[in-house]
Amino acid sequence: MKIHKVIETEKEYQAALKRVDEIFTAKAKTKEAEELKLLLVLIEKYEDEHYPINLPDPIEAIKIRMDDLGLTAKDLIDAIGDKGTVSKVLNKKIPLSLRMIRNLSIQLNLPTDILLQEIELTNAA
């Protein structure tokens, strides 16, 4: 088993990826399998710091999930409130309340960390 350290440069990152490719099919409970586990943790840490993936906009995530599930704004009334409130939320006129976030998370199977993000509201009417 090679000794590994925290990945700090792109060169080290590329070398770690290459090594993972070499030992990816290592048998369980071998030195290579342990090395693979360690490398994957180190790579994940490096990627989190250097290639962060931003969460999607909450309202866009809701709209995408609605499309995926074949839902209309009318289908969100139970989760959000009346037809007017649904429209205001989907048009970013008002923010999501905690109750709405809970309900939408359940109904649309969306992670709450996506729905909890700050929404940039448009000019409220």
Distance CA 33, CA 120 (A): 46
pLDDT digit string (tens) for 81-122? Answer: 999 999 999 999 999 999 999 999 999 999 999 999 999 898
For residue 15 the two structure tokens come to 């070398």
> Model pTM?
0.62
Q: Could you give the angle at the alpha carbon of 32 between the alpha carbons of 24 and 53, nearest 5°?
A: 45
Round the average pLDDT of the chain to a whole number and report it: 93
Closest CA to 102 of 67, 68, 78, 72: 78
What are the pLDDT digits (tens) for 25-41? 999 999 999 999 999 99
